[in-house]
Amino acid sequence: MVQVNAVTASDSLQQDYDYGNFDPEPSNYETSDRENNRENYDYDVTIVGGGIVGSLAACALSGSGLKIALIEASQQSLAVARGQAYSLNLLSSQIFDQLGLWQQIRPQIETYTQVYLSDGHYPGVVHFSPQDIQAETLGYVAEHRILLTELQTQLRQCADVAWLCPAKVLQTDFQPNAASLTIEQAGGVTTVRSRLVIGADGARSPIRQQVGIKTYGWQYWQSCVVAFIKPEKSHSNIAYERFQPDGPFAILPLPDNLCRIVWTVPHGEAERLLKLDRASFLQELTQRYGSQMGKLDLVGEPYVFPVRLLHSTQYVQPRLALIGDAAHCCHPVGGQGMNLGIRDAAALAEVIRAAHRRGEDFANLKVLKRYERWRMVENVIVLAFTDLLDRLFSNQILPIVGLRRLGLWILDNIQPIKTQALRLMLGLTGRSPQLTTANLSRPAI
Ligand SMILES: Cc1cc2nc3c(=O)[nH]c(=O)nc-3n(C[C@H](O)[C@H](O)[C@H](O)COP(=O)(O)OP(=O)(O)OC[C@H]3O[C@@H](n4cnc5c(N)ncnc54)[C@H](O)[C@@H]3O)c2cc1C
């Protein structure tokens, strides 16, 4: 018989690092549920928010013996259709691989094998290549619709995941042993009870606001103009990050020789750019960023995102854990936001699965704190790094200009520093979730 909460203080430290292998344990589920308390739950884990981060958490928890619900407010077609693309780092690709999704995703996305980092028109360019980290590539660029479609296809095959979409969580009520969620779906309102709620409901996170978890952060003085372009010449799998006084400008390669641009400028300038006709927009783009890729064509309409830094003071409280943008948002320089969220989802799933396997109440604060301790420090480091990059490069104060150019020279010429900076941006520092290495079998339950 599994002894619930029979974890002694002396072995709790070891537990943080000793999660064992993932394995589906339906019998363990039945036992721990019976032992834990005899209340009736509709679900063990309810994930609010079926974006990429929430859907990935559901996939990572499937097969654990837990009964999961995933609730998404948008129509399925709308949730998928978001015209966004992300640079995926190597760690994220390993997580998708272990979930059994990489083979389907990889042919639909692009790899980048070189990164050129430059400071305005200063001729010194830092060049990163896979040799700097003894890898085959530096990362990938994937459209939102491809990642979410593959996650949803997988979820449809998971009999232990109930997918409620479109359905909106209106209210949550947390009691000592359960959370009640009031859900609006198909014109009706229902209440479900869950042992744990995972808030993957984005930067505005209604769940986080309802429970009063505080955040700190700021809106940047910049917005991001995002567009897809088709250059005349091959993008050659090169990613560019060029720092301008207005803010960083990134070009990322996509399949079919498309590129995604993320053009960070002050809010007023972003509005002005958005109002330009296509020819004038492309002319400004070429004027500012050169013509190394030949004539550019605009695909679709550019759109604008406000940019903010946000960090929750807590990621967890009893029966609740926040992941992804609900817990933190960062400046898009370096393309880190989605990668952090993917890592949160994998880490939380690992903590829950391990606790459940041992017969612990996986929704109690002691267990959830393991996830918070793991992810909070790593997220803060990346948030601080992206903030520093933006501040350092988005100004023209002479001593700072000199300092950052020295920094770029060091980065390009001192290999250990170059390797370490690259490893940070590619998600190769910090503690990796087991999902990056474990050979998960995905049983049809
Ligand atoms: C300009 C820009 C460029 C970026 N580029 C990159 C990049 O290159 N690489 C990268 O890694 N990251 C990038 N990011 C960051 C990335 O977009 C976010 O980190 C990521 O989308 C967060 O995903 P999420 O699933 O946590 O939240 P979201 O994508 O916001 O998903 C939240 C979901 O919750 C649902 N929801 C909300 N409330 C409820 C409710 N009450 N009931 C039910 N459902 C609800 C919403 O409908 C939504 O589908 C960029 C961000 C910006 C602004």
**What digits encode the pLDDT tens for the residues 279-299?**
999 999 988 777 788 999 999
The least confident of 25-29, 117-121, 203-207, 320-324 is: 25-29
Q: Is any atom of ligand 1 closer than 6 Å to the C-beta of 99? A: no
User: What is the three-class DSSP state of 407?
Assistant: helix
Q: Mean pLDDT across the stretch 185-196?
A: 95
Over residues 35-44, the mean pLDDT reads 70
- Whole-number pLDDT of residue 256: 96
Q: Is 325 in the pocket of ligand 1 (CB under 6 A)?
A: yes
Q: Are 426 and 90 in contact (CB under 8 A)?
A: yes
Classify 217 in phi/psi space as left (phi over 0), alpha (psi -120 to 50) or beta.
Answer: left
- What integer pLDDT is reported at residue 437 of this predicted model? 57
Q: What's the rounded Cα separation, in Å, for the pair 385 and 376?
A: 14
For residues 408 and 117, is the Cβ–Cβ distance under 8 A? yes
Pocket lining: 169 vs ligand 1, CB cutoff 6 Å? yes
The answer, yes or no, to whether residue 372 has pLDDT greater than 60, is: yes
The confidence band for 376, taking pLDDT boundaries of 50, 70 and 90, is very high
pLDDT at 216 over 90: yes
**Alpha carbon nearest to ligand 1 atom 15, residue:** 337
The CATH H-level (homologous superfamily) assignment of domain 11-110+142-218+309-394+429-436 is: FAD/NAD(P)-binding domain (3.50.50.60)
pLDDT at position 245: 84
Residue 427, ligand 1, Cβ within 6 A: no
Residue 316 pLDDT > 50: yes
Mean pLDDT of 141-153: 96
The model's pLDDT over 7-28, given as tens digits with 9 standing for 90+, comes to: 222 222 223 222 223 233 333 3
Length of the chain: 445
Handedness of CA 372, 376, 377, 378 (dihedral sign): positive
Q: Which residue has the higher pLDDT, 134 or 342?
A: 342
Q: How far is the CA of 143 from the centre of ligand 1 (A)?
A: 13
Could you please report the per-residue DSSP string of 261-322? EEEEEEHHHHHHHHHS-HHHHHHHHHHHH-STT-SEEEEEEEEEEEEEEEEES-SEETTEEE
Task: Reply yes or no on whether the pLDDT at 178 is more than 80.
Answer: yes
Ligand 1, atom nearest to 250 Cα: 8
Mean model confidence pLDDT for the chain = 86
For 126-130, 253-257, 322-326, which range has the lowest pLDDT when averaged over its residues? 126-130
State mean pLDDT over 194-223. 96
Q: How far is the CA of 202 from the centre of ligand 1 (A)?
A: 5
Task: Tell me: pLDDT of 74 over 80.
Answer: yes
Determine the Cα–Cα distance for residues 439 and 431; give it in Å rounded to an integer.
18
pLDDT 10s digits, 386-404: 898 888 887 778 888 888 8
**Residue 34: predicted pLDDT:** 43
pLDDT tops 70 at residue 218: yes
Closest CA to 372 of 332, 425, 426, 328: 328
Q: From ligand 1's centre to the CA of 408, what distance in Å? A: 31
Taking only the tens place, the pLDDT of each residue in 237-248 is 999 988 888 888
d(CA 277, CA 209): 40
In the predicted structure, residue 191 carries a pLDDT above the cut 80: yes
Kindly give the distance from the C-alpha atom of residue 86 to the centroid of ligand 1, in angstroms, as a whole number: 11
Higher pLDDT residue, 406 or 56? 56
Whole-angstrom Cα distance, residue 202 to residue 397?
36
pLDDT value at 412 more than 50: yes
- Ligand 1 lined by 202 (C-beta under 6 Å): yes
Q: Is 74 in the pocket of ligand 1 (CB under 6 A)?
A: yes
Beta strands in 49-166, from DSSP E residues, in sequence order: 68-71, 85-88, 110-112, 114-119, 125-128, 139-143, 161-164
Q: 434: Cβ–Cβ under 8 A, 6 or more apart, which residues?
A: 19, 21, 22, 350
Average pLDDT rounded to a whole number, residues 357-366: 95
pLDDT at 445 over 90: no
Please, what sign has the CA dihedral across residues 214, 217, 222, 227?
Answer: negative
Question: Which residue's alpha carbon is nearest to atom 11 within ligand 1?
Answer: 338
**Four-point Cα dihedral 204, 210, 211, 214, nearest 10:** 40
Segment 417-426, tens digit of pLDDT: 999 888 888 8
Please determine, for residue 379, whether its predicted confidence score (pLDDT) is greater than 60: yes
Residue 247 CB–ligand 1 contact under 6 Å? no
- Check if 200 has its Cβ closer than 6 Å to any atom of ligand 1: yes
Strand partners, 111: 140
pLDDT at 227: 94
Other Cβ atoms less than 10 A from the Cβ of 289: the count is: 17
Between 91 and 40, residue with greater pLDDT:
91
Ligand 1 neighbour 87 (Cβ under 6 A): yes
49 lines ligand 1 (CB under 6 A): yes
| pLDDT in the model for residue 397 | 83
Percent of the chain residues past pLDDT 90, beyond the cut: 66
Verify whether ligand 1 is closer than 6 Å to residue 65 (CB atom): no
What is the phi/psi pair of residue 321, to 5°?
-135, 140
The phi and psi torsions of 209 (rounded to 5 degrees) equal -70, -40
Query: What pLDDT was estimated at residue 326?
Result: 98
Query: Probe ligand 1: pick from 226, 325, 379, max atoms within 8 Å of CB?
Result: 325
- For residue 40, how far is its CA from the centre of ligand 1 (angstroms)? 32
